Amino acid sequence: MEVMFKPRSIAVIGASEKPGTVGRAVIENLLNSFKGDIYPVNQKYDLVFGLKCYKSVRELPKTPDLAVVAVPARSTPELARGLCEIGVRVSIVVSAGFKEVGAEGAKLESELVSAARSCGMRILGPNCLGIYDAWSGVDTIFNPGDRQSKPGPGTIALLSQSGALGAAILDWLAESEIGMSKFVSYGNAADIKEWELVEYLVEDPQTKVIALYVEGVEDGRRFVGSLRKAIAAGKPVVVLKGGRTQSGVRAVTSHTGALTTSSDVFISAVKQAGAIVVENLSEFVGLLKVLEWSGPPRGRKVAVVTNGGGMGVLAADEVESKGMALAPLSAESIEKLKKTLPPAASPNNPIDILGDAPPERYRAAMEIALSDSEVDLVLVITLMQSPAFDPLKFIELVRDVRSQSLKPIVLVAPGGGYTIKYAKIIERELRVPCFKSPEEAVRVLKLAGEWYEKYAGGTYSKLD
């Protein structure tokens, strides 16, 4: 695994300058980020982007640490034998056309794996995007750079059985400037399995949170065992399961050819192992934001600060219905709020700072709420339709509050175009998770808080 993520040299078989090809995109992405040696291999060319191109892997000047295979599926078993001959230890096969297309493809996949195992070479894939390591610069994703954004270095690792979905999540995380340690699209998992990748990430010092999109696993016991190891190491694991319905199971078969089991059984086993199971992509990304930026809440008592009474009521309903609680503010906090807020404002929780609240009022209410020992986290509602709310001033005034708080802060910003635009800016500048509704925010906070209560043992914190 270490060779795959931190190679000193990479051979790209099927390298090309032809627009729209996988071989071109892989070479371009590596040239943009990878600092080691790159060896293009394609019998059609002498040069690829100024690099000497070799007619076959047997002509390479030295054995590459990693090979990226982007040739038609039917050619891969023979190519694997050639890579074995020159001593390559690991290959990423991005090519499709294996067990996901039926019996003939499954036979071809078996031949590919047998050829690799004849010399002990490991294979990631096939039918995958491969890997992106934000720290080492290894990038085998074959989406063009002008269409595919990628996060900078961080502590979240993402494993995805689906390459396209994984790429979309990368885009999503990059837009929010959420850092990443490693991304792996493992596709059909013909050789290297998802549980092996999880176990590697458990030992990886650059990874603190492990996120997975999974459609099916072949060895449920080993997969669940790998999750237990991650939890024991203090690393939260977030799982999004694909194929939870009959229609979804049929789609999985034609997508990666993965074996599926009862969704209820799978989810129950994963939860018992200590993983956090989310229901949709919105929860998946929202939870990663909470874990990466502030860590999970260390209790269930929520303070709500809002410039709209109705939204405060909805937030209170959601907090209670999800098994959390509105924090009982201390008499001292209530007295401070009375002195700070206008007479018509509510100093009780939810703290209604009124529709004409400028950013200065938000800052004061947030500071008081965060300093209250009864408060575990603060949910801030910003109705940006109010002319008094200046989003850029809000960022300026709340930045210190955010940086000095050990308690999670989340933002709820309901609305259309103007709100969406500035909510993204606030989120990116303050590194505060932003949600469109109280329902979204509270659901994610509950999941994070429950994990902390059950498994963190009082030791986990992004701020440690």
Q: Which residue, 347, 356, 346, 350, is CA-closest to 319?
A: 350
Helices (H), 274-345: 281-293, 309-321, 331-340
What mean pLDDT comes out for the span 154-163? Answer: 96
d(CA 207, CA 204): 6
Local structure of residue 289 (DSSP, 8 states): H
pLDDT for 464: 35
d(CA 358, CA 429): 19
What mean pLDDT comes out for the span 181-200? Answer: 97
Q: Do both 186 and 160 map to the same domain?
A: yes
Q: Find the angle CA(16)-CA(4)-CA(152) to the nearest 5 degrees.
A: 80
pLDDT for 145: 83
d(CA 10, CA 92): 10
pLDDT for 459: 45
Is 140 contained in some domain? Answer: no
Confidence tier at 144 by pLDDT (50, 70, 90): confident
More confident residue, 464 or 8: 8
Count CB atoms within 10 A of the CB of residue 3. 13
Q: Do both 201 and 289 map to the same domain?
A: yes
* Residue 117, domain CATH: 3.40.50.720
Q: What is the pLDDT of residues 12-37, one digit of tens each?
A: 999 999 999 999 999 999 999 999 99
d(CA 297, CA 446): 8
Q: Do both 57 and 182 map to the same domain?
A: no
Is 12 contained in some domain? Answer: yes
pLDDT for 436: 96
Q: Which residue, 230, 236, 181, 231, is CA-closest to 206?
A: 181
Number of domains in the chain: 3
Q: What is the pLDDT of residues 411-448, one digit of tens each?
A: 999 999 999 999 999 999 999 999 999 999 999 999 99
pLDDT for 262: 72
- Of 82-96, 230-244, 301-315, 384-398, the poorest mean pLDDT is in 230-244
pLDDT for 455: 85
Q: Do both 201 and 72 map to the same domain?
A: no
**Three-state secondary-structure class, residue 47:** strand
pLDDT for 460: 43
Q: Do both 288 and 156 map to the same domain?
A: yes
Strand runs (DSSP E) across 261-383, as ranges? Answer: 276-278, 301-306, 325-326, 351-352, 377-381
The identity of residue 116, as a single letter, is: A
**Which residue bears the tokens 């549980």?**
195
Q: Which residue, 42, 28, 102, is CA-closest to 72?
A: 42
Count CB atoms within 10 A of the CB of residue 282. 15
> What six digits make up the tokens of 452?
């902390």
Q: Do both 283 and 270 map to the same domain?
A: yes
What mean pLDDT comes out for the span 164-188? Answer: 94
Confidence tier at 249 by pLDDT (50, 70, 90): low
d(CA 311, CA 382): 9
Q: Do both 374 and 402 map to the same domain?
A: yes
Give pTM, 2 decimals: 0.90
Local structure of residue 316 (DSSP, 8 states): H
Distances (CA, A) of 116 to 2, 14, 77, 191, 368: 18, 18, 8, 9, 62
Is 144 contained in some domain? Answer: no
What mean pLDDT comes out for the span 271-281? Answer: 95
Confidence tier at 351 by pLDDT (50, 70, 90): very high
> What six digits make up the tokens of 165?
């979905």
Q: Do both 159 and 64 map to the same domain?
A: no
Q: Do both 285 and 299 map to the same domain?
A: no
For residue 389, the enclosing domain spans 295-456
Angle between helices 331-340 and 359-371 (to 10 degrees): 170
More confident residue, 249 or 447: 447
Q: Do both 83 and 162 map to the same domain?
A: no
Domain limit, last residue, from 243, 261, 293: 293
- Of 44-48, 49-53, 74-78, 261-265, the poorest mean pLDDT is in 261-265
What mean pLDDT comes out for the span 130-156? Answer: 93
Percent of the chain with pLDDT strictly greater than 90: 89
What mean pLDDT comes out for the span 174-203? Answer: 96
Burial of 339 (0-12, 13-18, 19+ CB in 10 A): exposed
* Residue 232, domain CATH: 3.40.50.261
Domain limit, last residue, from 96, 127, 158: 127
The identity of residue 142, as a single letter, is: F
Q: Do both 401 and 430 map to the same domain?
A: yes
Is 461 contained in some domain? Answer: no
Is 141 contained in some domain? Answer: no
pLDDT for 251: 55
pLDDT for 146: 86
Is 143 contained in some domain? Answer: no
Distances (CA, A) of 208 to 94, 223, 241: 27, 18, 21
Compute the radius of gyration of the chain from its Cα atoms: 25
Q: Is residue 374 pLDDT above 80, yes or no? A: yes
**204 has which bridge partners?**
none
Q: Do both 371 and 410 map to the same domain?
A: yes
Burial of 372 (0-12, 13-18, 19+ CB in 10 A): buried
Domain limit, last residue, from 262, 293, 324: 293
